[in-house]
Amino acid sequence: MSGWTIVLVGLGAAVGAPLRYLADSAARSRFDSAFPWGTFAVNVAGSLLLGALTAATAVLPAGLAALLGPGFCGALTTYSTFGHELVALAERRAGRTAVGYLLGSVLAGVLAAAAGWAAVRLTL
């Protein structure tokens, strides 16, 4: 891995992380719900984009793939926040919401990644 690749990953992360924060803040102010809509939305959107990027790796320059994949998508999506929110829902005894969040996130993330991959594969 070259030094430029690390810089590109960092640049992508510098955009993805604040975008995640802004999306979560916007969702919290818009929805009065125990369900963590902001994290759910960025994780599904990131899965869609990463699925598309995975399908396009043969035609993408390596630097762009690093910038958008591990950089942007890696910082935009967040497994640690997902886990923390599940634990917080369980602590608040919001079991149904926790189970819905768990199953919905996994299913929507996998389907979004598959849809992104398929959309790119159909155009190549």
Q: Which residues are annotated as a binding site for Na(+)?
A: 74, 77
**Amino acid occupying residue 70:** P
Binding-site residue set: 74, 77
Q: How far apart are CA 116 and CA 112, in angstroms?
A: 6
How far from each other are the two terminal CA atoms of the chain, in whole angstroms? 27
**Amino acid occupying residue 101:** Y
Please tell me what DSSP assigns to residue 124: -
